[in-house]
Structure 1
Amino acid sequence: MAASSSSSRGAGGGDDDNEPYLVGFVVSKIVGLKHYSGTLSGGERPSLIREPLNRYDSNAIAVHNSRGRQVGHIEGRTAKVLAPLLDSLLVANTHVLVPGSRSSKAGNNFYNLPCQIHLFARPAAAAIVREAVDESGLVLIDPNHIEFALSQSAIVQEQTKKSDRDVDKLFARVGKQGESRIEPMEPPEDVVVSDLFEHQKVALGWLVHREESGDLPPFWKEDKNGGYENVLTSQNAKQRPPPLRGGIFADDMGLGKTLTLLSLIARSKARNVGGGKAKGTKRRKIDDAEEGSRTTLVVCPPSVFSSWVTQLEEHTNAGSLKVYMYHGQRTKDKKVLLKYDIVITTYSVLGTEFGQEGSPVNDIEWFRVILDEAHIIKNSAALQTKAVTALNAQRRWVVTGTPIQNSSLDLFPLMAFLKFEPFSVKSYWQSLIQRPLEKGDKAGLSRLQNLLGAISLRRTKETECGSKSVIGIPPKTVVVCSIELSAEERECYDQMESEGRNKMMEFGDRDSILRNYSTVLFLILRLRQLCNDVALCPFDIKSWLPANTLEDVSKNPELLKKLASLVADGEDFDCPICLSPPSTTVITSCTHIYCQTCILKILKSASSRCPICRRSLSKDDLFIAPAVQHPDDDESGSLESDKPLSSKVQALLELLKRSQKEDPSSKSVVFSQFQKMLILLEGPLKRAGFKILRLDGTMSVKKRSDVIKEFAAVGPDAPTVLLAGLKAAGAGVNLTAASTVYLFDPWWNPGTEEQAMDRVHRIGQKKAVKVVRLIVKNSIEERVLELQERKKRLISGAFRKKVGGKEEKELRLEELRIMLGFGP
């Protein structure tokens, strides 16, 4: 975890009462300087990086300069105090100051360097931070302390303000540097046998330019003395900074990014750039520094394995590119891997091997690393994110059609992987990009646009790539089918929503609501399920709402089971600490849900409190979520024929029948995030005469592949409807056999829905694609769509040159209230 910097202000100051403020600073030392090559220049702001997996000290805090190079460590006594505060996020930001020194190697003491560590905390955590520091024996010098005025803190604040005034001009300049036209490029014809579309040739030219250009990295310039200066950080360097070889390849989903990347790999296969003769290109000898292995490591989810293999089979000469699947049983010999042109592995494999001795993927300096479906690493604290960031590579590529899924914070891990300085340092990302966006500052969005313009390529099917004749993809239309609930369903829904609002009002203040955060999420989940079918959730709302405002799981095993179903019933529950689906789900006695690894880290902190409700916790207060039984795969879980169908199921059946009548050969995909709903739909659809298949997250990679192949079959007995989970069919899956998509229920995250529908609307699709959203009127589903639209405005705005608007934060307490119909 990187501790980031912030402008300091007095307690209680500023417009936002929850904004972190400067609590004070502690005097410490940076030690171990002789072991690292990184140095600090005058005016530079180093960053603190937590190293919880450090084998010598689990409290280790590394010090990095603005170029991301390590200078040393914070001395052990101080690290022991600060590490728990950083891990628990009680200390929100830090600012490190090295007084009166221009170089970490300067002075008589080569082994350590004195420093001041300024601690920023939110108002609610400030007292805990002060108490933890005081109890440790360290001295906290706050803004009212006489020594504070004698320090350089005020000077640092003024320097920060000055740099902020000029920074927007710098961003505007770097954005224009990326506007030079890149010529289209052909792939090597002796490797790639398929013709590329024009937009793919342009992308290939851009990729090659990014890899082979010797331009200075963004924000660097040559000074009058023959040295180099970073105009954004004021960092000076005598040697020319290496170029930023790589970037973000963010073309819309379905535009053939994989084939373009294979063409890039084919060009660098041989010692001479091109790997073979490419039409319209000249051979050019590579730099001496690029001698050696030219192996590309591709990191992707397991579901994308088959996509890479299929693309290789369809578009390259057999055997022209040697591929090794580093998954399951795998070699430990890095020499074996370096004999291949492409090594394909998964994020989870890298996470498992992170820090392991003898792992070949960690020891190799890869010629190129490609992160496919790179939005998976949006959580910078996740182990797999740290693993890919630590890989050694000459060229680094981020590939995703949805680089932003929730907020601009999703982009920081991508910058860290790319080693794009200074934005790979969290303090700079926070101060220059994230905070201005969160405050609604238009300059924040402008900076983000210019930054992405300098290092990314993004085209969409509807705009930049032009007409059907260019890319061969027929149009896609998205419509909303509004559904009226029956009188009985409406009465049930309104009763449940009313009960939920009453319960929220019982909770009362913010703190009480946070203590019952999981209950609120549980209520929202049940209301969303009720829009689909009452069979998905218990009818009696009082049976799954707590009887009082502070129920204890330890005394109520039934409540424990109910909370476990919150994770099991839907695909979109994330741990609030790491923002990823929990691997091993733990429920606290105060009814909050986390990853086991995340909450155990919190317990090691000085406070040992629940991050949501601040209730004291120990290991005795943690409970592993019990397994939740799902219906079997047969029809026993399907809707019985003598029970009336829900309004939404009836609407789906009518739409499917109408579509089949218009085109008997047409195929449809029905997406739902609820696995139980997919099972419940099987019976009614089969009785209506549809031949169906199901694709969900419980299936193995091989089973999913078999289902997809079977769905693509044609003929009188071929399946016509695929019931699919959004995550199971959301990445690397080709469903172009279908031409109609039904989104049975809306997701929080619009990026996940876009991924799902673009499994159908992609290169290879021959028919116009129709996407139908089934939305219940006057319900929580309409409010989810409103939340989606907010996020879409951010995503589209980040890649445009002139867009107004402000950054939307993650789903917050206020938005939970809106979901329950309390209004904005």
Structure 2
Amino acid sequence: MAPTTPNMQMVESANDDSSQDDSFATQQQGEDAPYFQNQVLLAKGDYLIVGIRYYQGVAHPGEYVYLVREPSNPYDRNAIRVDNVHHQKIGHIKGTQCCKLAPLMDQYGEGLKIEGTIPCPGTAWNLPVSLEFNSTLSEPAQTMALAKDLKHKLKHSCSQFRMEPNVGGSVAAVVTPATVTPEAVIQTQALDWNQQQKQLDDIFEKQLESQLKDLPNLEMPSAFKSKLKLFDYQIQGIRFLVQKERNPPPAPFFRKVKEQGKTMHLCEITQSSQANPPSPIKGSLLCDEMGLGKSLQALGLILLEPKAGVNYNAIAIQPPSSIVPEQQSTAENNSHNPSLSMIQSTNNVTLKQILKAAKLKTSGNKKALVERIAQGLTSNAITREHFPESMFQQPPKSAPLVPTPQANHTSKNNGNTNKCTLIVCPVTVMANWTHQVQDHVQEGVLSLKLYHGNSRQKILRKVLDDQVDILLVSYHTLAADYAKAFTNSSSSTVTSGSAGEEPVRKKAKTQSIFDISFHRIILDEAHTIRNPKARPFKAVSEIQAARRLAITGTPFVNRSQDIYSLLSFLQVEPLNQSEIFQRAISKPLQNGQEIGLTRLRTIMGFVSLRRSKQNIPGLTMVDKTVNLATVEFGNDIHKQVYDALYGTLRVAMTAILKDNNNALGNYYNIFEKLLRLRQACCSGLLLTKERREAALQIWKQVSSKSREQELSPEEGLKLLEKLKGEFTQALPECGICLEEFDQTEGTILKGCGHVFCNNCIKQVLERSNQKCPYCRQKFRSEDIVSMVTAKAAANKAAVETLDEGEEFGTPPKIRALLQTIGSTVKPDEKAVIFSQFTSYLDIIGSAMKDAGHEFVRIDGSVPSSKRIERISQFTQDGGPRFILCSLLASGVGINLSRGNHAFLMDCWWNEAIESQAMDRIHRIDQTRPVQVTKFIMKESIEERIVSLQQTKSLRAKGAMQKLTGNEKRQALLGDLKGLLEIGN
């Protein structure tokens, strides 16, 4: 991963691979930044558009319009052009008005956001426009200065200019309350979890009955294995997905109108009209709750809606030997029958000759001819002698992949596509897709390939040759390819409605994944693209595909704006434009206006389908019991380490919180200490020896001083700095190629500790100046250490601390785990043990071995291929009874329903992440009652985290409120007071 500043990123630790979305510390770079600009409405004014008779652009009453500065206009250097939604010129702001407004636009730039709407019809010469003036400036002082400038410079420039009542003469009342004290923002977040979850589900459930009406009566794919039994709701889901691709209904928000004798299409959101109908939405959003088989429904779609001329069900009825794989040699092909793709690519005349030679019926279209030949091969009515010799010749080699001639890669060719479905998913889910195809689809029907590593060009050739049915790629790999293929260029024109940076294609010698027009693209865990400023969103937006499907159980992760990225991916007009989505949905929701929620419900009812386990008739799930097991520390070394860390942090924070700016400035430093406190609840060995000793020594000094006098904020900061320990970036992403890699492929430079994939750092060593690409420190070949070796050394060091006289023994939680296993897990039952800390899994594994328990393990260091193997071992009867899982590597996308016990060994800030882990075993195919045990330490920070989850977990489930990054920190620092029991 590229270097990041501390305020950009927070990581768990070198021993922790679970840096997934966390309410206290978000791991994605830039995640703290809002997806949409935060706006404060300052004023409104009524202006006049002139010169409309000179331009072709039309604007209707109620239509959104954009203001564009034209400083190089030859007639007026203060010119402000007005465009409609389609960026057609309407006219210009009246000269006496724009001379006052233009200098402010130039001075404040993007900090001044102006939104225009046509309030009523005009004349043949001019048109009225209402403007709203918003500040997007981050500093309150800057916003106050902007408000004063607006008030003094614009109040006489138009007939009706008015400051917002809540602004008045001072902006402080609008922008500063949330930054005065944390408590004010906390109150806005104190929302009821169950009520908000119900509101979220209501958005979907109110549409459910109408969505499932008039679905096509389709037979389910015979390519599915015969043992697979689909539930009724899954059959409905497959039919819904097929309908959305095969016969998409007219887009919402548009209606036909007559304008000057012409039929036009009017958008009821923007009130803009267009001659062409809106593009059909060939795709959908599947949002079923976790554990209901979304991947299986997507496979049904792939099998039922292939490219024209492909019939997976015809392939399924053939024995494996009847149609040979494409990869066989010429000699092998000559001794068997032609491949399926060869038969499908053969013209109708030849196909009829084959059938005639075999004395079979020759009528029908190409699809019927191919199916008849397939059936003939199955029944041996057609043999090798019936085929012409040309069908056994070696096909010509693929032409070399070359880049497309376009400089800008903006066209989306949805016509001539190959048969491949591209599935984009987190790397942890790739194994699940492989598993799903192997378990549910007949062998030989679907060719599945992974797009990863150095063989990508070869795989692309196979895709272009129609040899691949499903291509799997991770979000990280696709984002890395995007960075190599595109650069961003900003428009030189300052536009109020600007869409931002446009990607421009780099010159390249070879073709990339972005040059291929896929039959379909599927996003699994689609909420991964919720930030439109991040590379995953930009990368999937550049993929060419005729059909689109987004799959996620959590369409709203933090706010209603999360849905914008999904609608943009599905190309839903006009809400795929961020400016329009913000004006039409986000701002009305923020202001409590019903129209925002109505529009959101309308579009979600149109493109999405969501069923929860509670609203599916006839679906009976096994009971799930969640037990909270509180464990006492005792008086051992684990307790001493925890008390020292807790006491020191509490004293330091009591002092720091006296100065709010200091607290905000040290936000990530503070929560790194909380991470160590959470680790101490698990085992004192999760902290380095140096940190343990430092904490114990500092606490001796601080505890006596704090009783004598309170610390100042400056002393608190110094104390916090003393506690600071080193922790390294553990995300498996190379800083050179930006590609995700397994820890088995990772290396660390001994001198500086920076991490790269093995291939890249070797190339630097061989071809470059042998300096670290990050810090330019010299290194030699012996300085390159594999991550596996480094981890083994770290584990050895942790074990050696026991030999130095620190008798930690078995941590209290693990003792409780072993006791619970003995009393609750029956001999024929299996269990999953979760932790977010891989080093804790090491300690658990050691204790499990000593107790005689067999287990397998999945964490970030296990390659995808090994994960499939280990899950299979756990699933088999007679296999290991236990599986140890890191929360990030196993929290989503895998099925562990052979186990019916789950043990959560540590607390996660976000209860939704823990719920995802539970749903790995509480699924529709689970036949045994599920028992979940969550271990927490008594009289520790974990007890208060559990309490916080119950009141604050709304943040993970889609509160439709808008908080700035600063307000979010304020709320979390307020929560911190409760966690550390600091009085107000």
Give TM-score scaled by structure 2 length: 0.59
Post-superposition shift, 1:200? 0.8
Aligned counterpart, 2:941: 780
2:417–2:546 contact (8 Å) kept in structure 1: no
Q: 2:249 aligns with which of 203, 206, 215?
A: 215
Aligned counterpart, 1:362: 514
**SS at 2:41's partner residue?**
coil
Distance 1:336 1:664 in 2: 48
**SS at 2:890's partner residue?**
coil
1:459 aligns with 2:611: yes
**SS at 2:150's partner residue?**
coil
2:655–2:715 contact (8 Å) kept in structure 1: no
Post-superposition shift, 1:4? 4.8
1:670–1:721 contact (8 Å) kept in structure 2: yes
Q: 2:233 aligns with which of 192, 199, 208?
A: 199
Alignment of 1:282-321 (within 5 A): 292-321=417-446
**1:477-514 superposed Cα distances (whole Å, 9 cap, x missing partner):** 32222333335666764554343232123222221111
Distance 1:699 1:173 in 2: 37
1:268–1:275 contact (8 Å) kept in structure 2: no
Moved more, 324-333 or 771-780: 324-333
Q: 1:497 aligns with which of 603, 624, 646?
A: 646
Aligned counterpart, 2:113: 94
2:40–2:134 contact (8 Å) kept in structure 1: no
Aligned counterpart, 2:475: 347
**SS at 1:306's partner residue?**
helix
RMSD value, Cα: 5.4
| Distance change in 2, residues 1:550/1:673 (3 Å) | farther
Distance 2:107 2:599 in 1: 33
1:331 aligns with 2:496: no
Q: 2:266 aligns with which of 229, 239, 249?
A: 229
1:438–1:808 contact (8 Å) kept in structure 2: no
Aligned counterpart, 1:188: 221
Aligned counterpart, 1:392: 544
Aligned counterpart, 2:874: 711
Aligned counterpart, 2:556: 404
Aligned counterpart, 1:541: 695
| Distance change in 2, residues 1:3/1:659 (3 Å) | closer
1:227–1:239 contact (8 Å) kept in structure 2: yes
User: What is the one-letter code of the residue matched to 1:485?
Assistant: F
| Distance change in 2, residues 1:301/1:561 (3 Å) | farther
1:445–1:797 contact (8 Å) kept in structure 2: no
Aligned counterpart, 1:565: 727
Post-superposition shift, 1:299? 0.9
Unmatched runs of 5 consecutive residues or more in structure 1: 11-21, 25-33, 50-62, 72-80, 108-114, 132-139, 159-170, 573-579, 584-594, 597-618, 621-625, 799-804
Aligned counterpart, 1:699: 862
Aligned counterpart, 2:675: 525
Give TM-score scaled by structure 1 length: 0.69
Q: 1:249 aligns with which of 286, 302, 307?
A: 286
Distance 1:308 1:720 in 2: 24
2:422–2:470 contact (8 Å) kept in structure 1: yes
Distance 2:244 2:622 in 1: 31
Distance 2:860 2:946 in 1: 24
1:514 aligns with 2:664: yes
**1:408-431 superposed Cα distances (whole Å, 9 cap, x missing partner):** 343332222222234333334444
2:834–2:902 contact (8 Å) kept in structure 1: yes
Post-superposition shift, 1:388? 0.6
1:299–1:344 contact (8 Å) kept in structure 2: yes
| Distance change in 2, residues 1:152/1:333 (3 Å) | farther
**SS at 2:251's partner residue?**
coil
1:477 aligns with 2:625: yes
Aligned counterpart, 1:124: 139
Aligned counterpart, 2:817: 652
User: What is the one-letter code of the residue matched to 1:352?
Assistant: A
Distance 2:552 2:271 in 1: 32
Distance 1:192 1:157 in 2: 65
**1:776-812 superposed Cα distances (whole Å, 9 cap, x missing partner):** 34433234334434565577688xxxxxx97888853
2:525–2:551 contact (8 Å) kept in structure 1: yes
Between the two proteins, the alignment pairs up a number of residues equal to 682
Aligned counterpart, 2:766: none
Post-superposition shift, 1:458? 1.5
User: What is the one-letter code of the residue matched to 2:678?
Assistant: R
Post-superposition shift, 1:655? 1.0
Distance 2:616 2:941 in 1: 35
Post-superposition shift, 1:437? 5.2
**1:240-266 superposed Cα distances (whole Å, 9 cap, x missing partner):** 112222222111222222221111111
Distance 2:852 2:244 in 1: 54
**SS at 1:8's partner residue?**
strand
Q: 2:295 aligns with which of 240, 249, 258?
A: 258
Q: 2:881 aligns with which of 692, 697, 720?
A: 720
Post-superposition shift, 1:757? 2.2
1:44–1:234 contact (8 Å) kept in structure 2: yes
**SS at 2:151's partner residue?**
coil
1:121–1:129 contact (8 Å) kept in structure 2: no
| Distance change in 2, residues 1:190/1:423 (3 Å) | same
1:820 aligns with 2:965: no
Distance 1:152 1:391 in 2: 49
Q: 1:751 aligns with which of 901, 904, 912?
A: 912
Post-superposition shift, 1:756? 2.1
User: What is the one-letter code of the residue matched to 1:732?
Assistant: G
Distance 1:542 1:430 in 2: 52
Distance 1:82 1:364 in 2: 42
| Distance change in 2, residues 1:526/1:221 (3 Å) | same
Distance 1:683 1:82 in 2: 65
Distance 1:789 1:213 in 2: 44
User: What is the one-letter code of the residue matched to 2:240?
Assistant: W
Distance 2:265 2:824 in 1: 64
**SS at 1:367's partner residue?**
strand
Distance 1:153 1:774 in 2: 63
**1:365-387 superposed Cα distances (whole Å, 9 cap, x missing partner):** 33321001212223322212211
1:422–1:428 contact (8 Å) kept in structure 2: yes
For the pair shown, the structure with the greater C-alpha radius of gyration is 2
1:305–1:344 contact (8 Å) kept in structure 2: yes
1:178–1:455 contact (8 Å) kept in structure 2: no
**1:30-75 superposed Cα distances (whole Å, 9 cap, x missing partner):** xxxx9xx9998886546899xxxxxxxxxxxxx997579999xxxx
Distance 1:735 1:459 in 2: 21
Post-superposition shift, 1:658? 1.2
Aligned counterpart, 2:173: none
Distance 1:708 1:69 in 2: 57
**SS at 2:931's partner residue?**
strand
**SS at 1:189's partner residue?**
coil
Distance 1:187 1:683 in 2: 48
2:242–2:305 contact (8 Å) kept in structure 1: no
| Distance change in 2, residues 1:118/1:796 (3 Å) | closer
Distance 1:413 1:703 in 2: 33
User: What is the one-letter code of the residue matched to 1:817?
Assistant: G
| Distance change in 2, residues 1:152/1:345 (3 Å) | farther
User: What is the one-letter code of the residue matched to 1:150?
Assistant: S
| Distance change in 2, residues 1:284/1:123 (3 Å) | farther
Identity between Structure 1 and Structure 2 (%) = 28
Post-superposition shift, 1:669? 1.3
**1:547-580 superposed Cα distances (whole Å, 9 cap, x missing partner):** 9967999x99x96994542765xx99xxxxxxx9
Distance 2:896 2:205 in 1: 40
| Distance change in 2, residues 1:664/1:438 (3 Å) | farther
User: What is the one-letter code of the residue matched to 1:820?
Assistant: L
Aligned counterpart, 1:382: 534
| Distance change in 2, residues 1:241/1:701 (3 Å) | same
Distance 2:301 2:949 in 1: 35
Q: Which has the higher contact order (CA 8 A, sep 6+)?
A: 2
